[in-house]
Structure 1
Amino acid sequence: MAPNRGWLKCNIGVDLDKNNQRSGGSWVLREERGTVVLHSRRAFSNILSLDEAKFQALIWTVESLSFHRVNRVIIAIDDATLTNVILRPKAWPNFTCQYAEIMARLRKLEWWRLVKEERTTNRGAFLIAQSVTKGGFMHSYVAAGVWFDRLRC
């Protein structure tokens, strides 16, 4: 789903390699026509669970968006728990620390929305994250441009 006019959409992808305790995270930022504006990848080490991998990827993504001065952004992740923790914190008291960490970063963005989307709608971001765990690409990057559109995210 494309964002409304004047908004951007950031899809987050995460993949975990339990054997090596490593995860790959990525985000893809698109404008209202679906054109990729920026995309990024990062490797995380000492990650023991998919939940932790998704949490770390969300924190890193929001920090990146803030650093790049992105505003009016819809952040899409394929994790219902993290989405609910942010949108309904009182219903998730066991996640108070995670809520505080995420909100401390989200407050740096003037306008944001967090939505849960299926992995299939985050396909491009997921494939970039997989390049860490399956392809062994450990170098982080941030890139601008549209070469990424070939993946049909």
Structure 2
Amino acid sequence: MGDMERWCPPSTGTVKCNIHVNWGSAALISGGAWIARDHTGNVLFHGRDAFTPSPNRMIAELRGILWVMQSARDLHFHSICIASDHRDTAEALLSPASWPWFRCLLEQIMALCNSFFSVAFEVEKVGANSIVRDIAKSVMRDGRLQSYLALGGPAWLHSRIIREATRQD
């Protein structure tokens, strides 16, 4: 795996929240997951949820971003970086006026930005977002519909989290 596919830590004082929403169709639930890590790669929290059906992937992704931001606010994070591997989401967050169909959700996200000292949005490579992708996929694949927020990372992904934090292959 090349450096561009590796998870990269945030700057000191910022919490990086990787997110993925597993959307399949307008008729199905979506699985969402996020993982919050500090500049050393230490996992602070992770969460998983099942979302009611969304008409398209973009709406599912934006609902996921709202969920992460509300959680980060409630956990009293001050500086956050939200990393998603869905490029359109990042583009919409960086230029909301270009995405008028999603104005309502984008306005809610922008309003939540005022809850933080700083908020950054970035596009993450799929390979660098694989841990959170696997958690999100478990919602629909394994029928894990129970929402939760937990300290640390999930035990079944512990060795991968440690490898990413220490940047070993």
Which TM-score applies when normalising by structure 1? 0.89
How far does residue 75 in structure 1 lie from its aligned partner after superposition?
0.6
How far does residue 50 in structure 1 lie from its aligned partner after superposition?
1.8
Name the structure 1 match of 2:64.
Answer: 57
- Give the match's secondary structure for 2:83: strand
Q: CA RMSD in A?
A: 1.9
Contact in 2 for aligned 1:35/1:149 (Cα 8 Å)? no
How far does residue 19 in structure 1 lie from its aligned partner after superposition?
7.8
Identify if the C-alpha distance between structure 1 residues 42 and 73 changes in structure 2 by more than 3 Å, giving closer, same or farther.
same
The percent of aligned pairs where both chains have the same amino acid is 29
Contact in 2 for aligned 1:17/1:133 (Cα 8 Å)? no
Answering whether residue 159 of structure 2 is matched by residue 150 of structure 1, we say yes
Task: Structure 2: state its 5+ residue gaps.
Answer: 1-7, 165-169
Structure 2 distance, partners of 1:104, 1:19, is: 27
2:121 maps to a residue whose letter is L
Structure 2 distance, partners of 1:18, 1:93, is: 22
- Give the match's secondary structure for 2:40: coil
Name the structure 1 match of 2:53.
Answer: 46
Identify if the C-alpha distance between structure 1 residues 145 and 114 changes in structure 2 by more than 3 Å, giving closer, same or farther.
same
2:134 maps to a residue whose letter is L
Contact in 1 for aligned 2:13/2:39 (Cα 8 Å)? yes
Structure 2 distance, partners of 1:76, 1:90, is: 21
| Residue from 60, 68, 71 that aligns with 2:78 | 71
| Residue from 116, 137, 145 that aligns with 2:123 | 116
Identify if the C-alpha distance between structure 1 residues 30 and 63 changes in structure 2 by more than 3 Å, giving closer, same or farther.
same
Task: Structure 1: state its 5+ residue gaps.
Answer: none
- Give the match's secondary structure for 2:23: strand
Structure 1 distance, partners of 2:35, 2:21, is: 12
Which TM-score applies when normalising by structure 2? 0.81
How far does residue 4 in structure 1 lie from its aligned partner after superposition?
1.0
Name the structure 1 match of 2:5.
Answer: none
